Amino acid sequence: MNARPSLVVAALLTLAGCAQTPPAPAPTPAPEPRDLPPIQYDGETLGDLLVAESAAQRQSLTVTLDYYDRAARTTNDPVVIAQATKLATYLEQSRRARELADLWLNLEPNNADALRLAALAAIREGDSDGAATLIDRLLAGHGSDALLPLVAEASNMNDADNQELLEALSKLADRYPHQAPLWYARALERRQQQDLPGALDAVKRALKEDPDHLEAGLLQGQLLFEAGQPEKALKRVARQVADHPDSRRARIAYVRLLLAAGDYDGAREQLDVLAEQNPQDLDLQYSLALLALEAGAEPAAEEILQRLLRQGYRPDEMRLHLGQAAEARGAVDEAIDDYLQVKGPDALQARVQAARLLYASERGERGHALINDLINQFPGRTIVLRISEAEMLVDAGDPESALALLDKALEATPDSTNLLYARAMTAGQAGRPEQMEADLRRVLELTPDDAATLNALGYTWADRGIHLEQAHDMIRRALDMHPEDPAILDSMGWVLYRLGRPAEALPYLRRAYQQQPDAEVSAHYGEVLWVLDQRDAALRVWRAALANDPDSTLLLDTLQRLEVTP
């Protein structure tokens, strides 16, 4: 009996594909039919297909694949093999996808979907040469349109697979010099390799071959901006928007560049256009508001957020972000009011921030009352709330009250390592090194391998010039657990310097500075450079740090002690 599988799995795969990759701009030509014998399904195969479809209806797609795989291999039916290959690709079972795609290609050697899925499987298997061969066949048989979904697939892959795919596509650009998608892929690959001139050359070539290539035009704008040519970048992307006025992708890319360039008025105009073009897409407007907020364009963000709030869209999230926007522009009372209106899952975060603003604006009594109210509502969060309140007191310039608050909290839970660590840090800020050391020692008694505490105690000793060998051992243990942590790298460099080994200290401090060039790390790094007679480099480090934090006590004390005028 001739039979075909029903459309249940096909529909599921279509939905899955919509979530995974953008649709191709046009279907590829159908392959030439081949003279294949009629396919006969036996009872067992029909049973497998029925079980597969039943599993698909329950979203048990792994079970569906197992049955489709067996049916594909026993029937040699290209329709069944195609379904099995697509499902294996969606489930990221690359080895099985490659095997099934090969079966498919044995029957239909020029099928575009089979070639594309086989290439993707080869990429995921780490076979970039094999993928390049398959992509070569795809391009030769179907032209550049068949490449577009393949290039789009790169955004859905992990970093390693993404790089492999772009490399495979890039290799073919010289062989097919008139294919714009291949030059576009090369531009993406060169950008990944941080080869900005190479990326610009490749995207220029893509646009030469296809001046209407939207993605290449947008990429050229991004690359020009990264190359320090913002005016050219904005003109390029503005031209893309003019040529494609209904393209959300182009207009969003333009908004991003305008925000990055600090042209908030221009960005707001484009945001208004997007809102008018997509009045029902509230998710898009929300995303654009967050983008504006992140870029520092608070007025534009607030305008969108207020509009969404009036429409009843996620009111608690809107109020939370409105509070953040108001806080960013210094409207403290307005921010507090917004935060206090937040309900639901974000209420705790919002109210803690309101309390922080109350403490910062010398309304500590109200802040304390708010924290107490939160503790009554969320008793399981008592410790973290008290620690947060202690930080608020320290930030308000009152470390002694912060210590008293933590002392009282420790009466109820004397072995809380979080409270002990918080009190240790607060004691350090209050100028009580003995209290700090006692609390850190107690934390290590309770949790001997806590890297943060090992580092904190080791650094404290190193900074005071005591127990230096023991401090070195502690910091070494912490660094073994977290070898790239900039705070621990800084501690290791500082303790080596205090041990009289500045040349050994320098690489650790350089790595710390590269990751976290704050005032403290800059002070240490600059001092070691200075002692090693690399004085021009030291001055550059200190000057950069002073530009960012001109009131840093540690930095200023370091310069005074070394009698340096930067």
The percent of residues in the chain predicted with pLDDT above 70, rounded, is 84
Residue 148: pLDDT band with limits 50, 70, 90: low
Helical segments of 378-501, H only? 382-395, 399-412, 417-429, 433-446, 451-464, 468-481, 486-498
Query: Which domains, from first to last, does the chain contain?
Result: 212-313 (1.25.40.10), 450-566 (1.25.40.10)
Query: Does 524 score more than 90 pLDDT?
Result: yes
Report how far residue 379's alpha carbon sits from residue 74's, in angstroms, rounded to the nearest whole number: 62
pLDDT, tens digit, for every residue of 433-485? 999 999 999 999 999 999 999 999 999 999 999 999 999 999 999 999 999 99
Lowest mean pLDDT among 44-53, 312-321, 530-539: 44-53
Q: Minimal CA–CA distance to 453: which of 424, 429, 486, 433?
A: 424
Confidence (pTM):
0.61
Q: What is the DSSP string of 305-318?
A: HHHHHHTTSSHHHH
Q: Is 546 left (phi over 0), alpha (psi -120 to 50) or beta?
A: alpha
Q: Which residues contact 187 (CB under 8 A, 6 or more apart)?
A: 199, 200, 202, 203, 206, 216, 219, 223
Q: Is 262 left (phi over 0), alpha (psi -120 to 50) or beta?
A: left
Report how far residue 541's alpha carbon sits from residue 563's, in angstroms, rounded to the nearest whole number: 16
Determine the pLDDT at residue 362: 93
Report how far residue 422's alpha carbon sits from residue 68's, in angstroms, rounded to the nearest whole number: 58
Query: Does 373 score more than 60 pLDDT?
Result: yes
Exposed e or buried b per residue across 450-482, where buried means at least 16 C-beta atoms within 10 angstroms of its C-beta:
bbbbbbbbbbbbbbeeebbeebbebbebbbeee
What are phi and psi for residue 552, nearest 5 degrees? -65, 115
Lowest mean pLDDT among 11-15, 133-137, 476-480: 11-15
Determine the pLDDT at residue 56: 45
CB 107 within 8 A of CB 36: yes
Determine the pLDDT at residue 506: 96
Higher pLDDT, 409 or 190: 409
